[in-house]
Amino acid sequence: MENTKDYDVIIIGGGATGAGTARDCAMRGLRTILIERLDFTAGATGRNHGLLHSGARYAHTDPESAVECIKENIILKRIARHCIEETGGLFVSLPEDGLDYHAAFIEDCRKAGISAEELDPTEALRIEPSVNPAIIGAVKVPDGSIDPFRLTTANVMAARMNGADIMTYQEVVGFLREGTRITGVRLRSHRDGQEREIRGKVTINAAGIWGHHLARLAGVDINMYPAKGSLLIFGHRINNMVLNRCRKPGDADILVPGDTICVIGTTSTRIPYDQIDNMEVTPAEVDLLLREGTRLSPAMAWTRILRAYAGVRPLVADDSDPSGRSISRGIVCLDHTKRDGLDGFITITGGKLMTYRLMAQEATDLACRKLGVDRKCETAQVPLPGSDNTDDDRRRRAHIIELSTEQKAAEERHGSLTGRIASNDDAEDALVCECEQVSVGEVNFAIEELHVHNLVNLRRRTRMGMGTCQGELCACRAAGLLERHEKCARRTLNDLASFLDERWHGMYPVCWGETLVEIQFTSWLYEGVCGLDTDTASPIGEQPLH
C-alpha cells in the first residue's frame, strides 16, 4: 500500500521525544507524520520514575544537565500542568552518607539556579513523615512528579491538532533513498503484516535505544549502549514529596510519588543490545531496590509491591572520542549530512524525559534549516492540550459544581480535555476500573480519540488496570467495551489473554504476600471461571518483528 502524501518530516518513535518533535514540527507548519513501531510510551518514556527533575540530582556531577533540567522544569510547569504534580522534593543524608556531599550539593544547586533550602532534620520529618528518622541532613528542592503517559499523549494530540498524521504499530523495516539522500521509509504493520512506503524530505530518528538499529538500517553508525534500570511500584503513596539520597547518584536512591502509587528506582546495568526488547527485573535487583529503598523510607518494608519494571536508557558514544568508549552527556542531535554525508536524516537522542521538549526543539530547528523554513519554536509558550485552562477556570468550575471522586480522577488525567469525556447518563459514568476510577465514558473517549487498539494502549491512556487489582476485575469489562469498537470477539479475547500475561510479567518478580494472593485469584477467575487459556492467548501487537 502506498501513502501518496508527500511529507516534509517523518518522525520515527512514539516516545516523549518523538511525540514532542511531531508537535514542534506541526506547529511550525511542516507536513508531519509520526510513526511508532508499537504503542506510544512503550519504550523508555513509559519505563522510568516519572520524576519531574529540578536538576538537583545532576547539580554536582553534570552542571550543564542541571541547568537544562531546571529551565525545562519551569517550562513544563507552564505548558503541561495536567501531567505534573508539584510535590517538592527532599535530598536527605543518612549517617552512612555523611554531610560532605550535602554541603557541596547546596552550593552546586545555587550555581545552577535551583532553589535549595537547607532544612533541619526535624523539620524535614515534619513535612515528610515517611522519611527515615535517622536522617542527619535535608535539603528541599523543586522536584515533582510527571506522568510520561499523559505527557506523550498530550504531545501526540497537539501534533494531530496542528495537522500531523499519526501511525502506531508500524515498524520501519527499511529506508527509501535516492543517491546519498533518505527520501522516506518502508513500514510493516504489526497489526496485519502489510507493508507500505511513506515519503518525506527529512526523516528524524527519535527511536531512543532502537535508534541504534534504525541508524544502521539507514547505513550509518551510532554507537549506543543500552543501560537497564529497574524500578518497583508500591500499592499506595508512602511519601508526599520526592525523596532523594544526598550522595553521588547510585542505585535505588529516588522514591517518587505519582498518582495513587510511588516508585523506587533505579538500578543501572549495561546489557547487550540484543536484550533491549527483553526487559526483565531480576531477583537480585528486587532485593537491592528494597534494601536501599527502605533506607530512604522504612515503610517500604511493609508496603505491598504492585509490580516491577525496567527500562533502557540509551547511552550514546561520544563522537569526539575516537575510541568510542566515552559517553556523551546531555542531548545528542546528529546532522547526518555533516557527520556521514547522508542527506535528509537526523538523529535526536541522549537527553532525558525532562528535556524531551528541548530535544524536540533542537531536532526541529535542524529540520527547518534543511527545509529552508524560518519559523520560531513556540512549544515553550503554548500549553499542551489538557493544560490550556487557567487556574481561575479550574477554581470557578470546582466552585460551581461539586466534583465526584471519579470526575476528579478523570480531571487529574485529562485536564481541560475532561469535558470531552461523555457523562450524559449513569451508564457512561459507571466505573470500569474501580482502583483507578476509570469510567465507561473515559474508556470510550480513549478508544475514540487516543489511538487505542488494545487493552495495553487503554491502560497507558487511562491507568485502567494499573491499580491494586492489576486488571483482575476491570480487564474483562474493558475488553467488553473495546470489542464493541473492534468488532472481533476472537481478537479481543486474544488481547485480553495477552493483557493478563503482560500484567503477570510485572508481578512475578515480586510474587509474594498479597501480590501472590491477587494473581492466584486472577488465574482462578480468568482461566478457571471464564475458561481463558493458552489456546485463546496468542499475543498480538507488542512483539517486535525482527
| Chain contacts with other proteins (rule: CB under 8 A) | 283, 290, 404, 406, 426-427, 429-432, 434, 439-440, 473, 476-477, 479-481, 483-484, 489-490, 492-493, 496-497, 500-501, 504-505, 508, 511-513, 516-517, 520-521, 523-525, 527-534, 536-537
In the complex, the smallest distance separating the C-beta of residue 206 from other proteins, rounded to whole angstroms, is: 31
Q: Which is nearer to other proteins, 74 or 430 (CB)?
A: 430
- Give the C-alpha separation, 335 to 398, whole Å: 49
Q: Which is nearer to other proteins, 190 or 477 (CB)?
A: 477
In the complex, the smallest distance separating the C-beta of residue 277 from other proteins, rounded to whole angstroms, is: 15
- Give the C-alpha separation, 97 to 135, whole Å: 10
Cell numbers describing residue 318:
561520544
In the complex, the smallest distance separating the C-beta of residue 437 from other proteins, rounded to whole angstroms, is: 8
How large is the angle between the packed helices 489-507 and 474-486, nearest 10 degrees? 150
> How far does Cα 368 stand from its chain's mean position?
27
Q: Which is nearer to other proteins, 168 or 515 (CB)?
A: 515
Q: Which is nearer to other proteins, 161 or 530 (CB)?
A: 530
Q: Which is nearer to other proteins, 68 or 472 (CB)?
A: 472
With a CB cutoff of 8 Å and minimum separation 6, the contacts of 225 are: 270, 314, 315, 316, 317, 327
In the complex, the smallest distance separating the C-beta of residue 492 from other proteins, rounded to whole angstroms, is: 8
Q: Which is nearer to other proteins, 120 or 501 (CB)?
A: 501
- Give the C-alpha separation, 372 to 354, whole Å: 29
In the complex, the smallest distance separating the C-beta of residue 453 from other proteins, rounded to whole angstroms, is: 17
Radius of gyration of the CA atoms of the chain, in A: 23
* 233 close to 261: Cβ distance less than 8 angstroms: yes
Q: Which is nearer to other proteins, 67 or 493 (CB)?
A: 493
Cell numbers describing residue 481:
467495551
- Give the C-alpha separation, 141 to 160, whole Å: 35
In the complex, the smallest distance separating the C-beta of residue 330 from other proteins, rounded to whole angstroms, is: 37
* 293 close to 264: Cβ distance less than 8 angstroms: yes
In the complex, the smallest distance separating the C-beta of residue 534 from other proteins, rounded to whole angstroms, is: 4
Q: Which is nearer to other proteins, 164 or 264 (CB)?
A: 264
* 526 close to 500: Cβ distance less than 8 angstroms: yes
Q: Which is nearer to other proteins, 106 or 500 (CB)?
A: 500
Single out the residue of 390, 418, 391, 389 nearest to residue 403, CA to CA.
418
Q: Which is nearer to other proteins, 57 or 463 (CB)?
A: 463
Peptide bond preceding 180 in cis form (omega within 30 of 0): no
In the complex, the smallest distance separating the C-beta of residue 274 from other proteins, rounded to whole angstroms, is: 19
> How far does Cα 225 stand from its chain's mean position?
20
- Give the C-alpha separation, 220 to 406, whole Å: 50
Using a CB cutoff of 8 Å and minimum separation of 24, what contacts does 76-80 make?
Answer: 76/52, 76/146, 76/354, 76/357, 77/52, 77/144, 78/380, 78/381, 78/383, 79/357, 79/379, 79/380, 79/381, 79/382, 79/383, 79/384, 79/387, 80/146, 80/151, 80/154, 80/383, 80/384, 80/387
In the complex, the smallest distance separating the C-beta of residue 244 from other proteins, rounded to whole angstroms, is: 25
Q: Which residues pair with 310 in a beta bridge?
A: 230
In the complex, the smallest distance separating the C-beta of residue 518 from other proteins, rounded to whole angstroms, is: 9
How large is the angle between the packed helices 455-462 and 474-486, nearest 10 degrees? 110
Phi, psi of 485, rounded to the nearest 5 degrees:
-85, -40
Q: Which is nearer to other proteins, 17 or 498 (CB)?
A: 498
Q: Which is nearer to other proteins, 380 or 525 (CB)?
A: 525
In the complex, the smallest distance separating the C-beta of residue 536 from other proteins, rounded to whole angstroms, is: 7
Q: Which is nearer to other proteins, 7 or 499 (CB)?
A: 499
In the complex, the smallest distance separating the C-beta of residue 329 from other proteins, rounded to whole angstroms, is: 37
In the complex, the smallest distance separating the C-beta of residue 512 from other proteins, rounded to whole angstroms, is: 4
- What's the burial of 486, exposed, middle or buried (CB within 10 Å: 0-12/13-18/19+)? middle
Q: Given the C-alpha cell 518522525, which residue does it identify?
A: 11
- CA–CA distance from 505 to each of 96, 308, 508, 510 (Å)? 35, 8, 6, 10
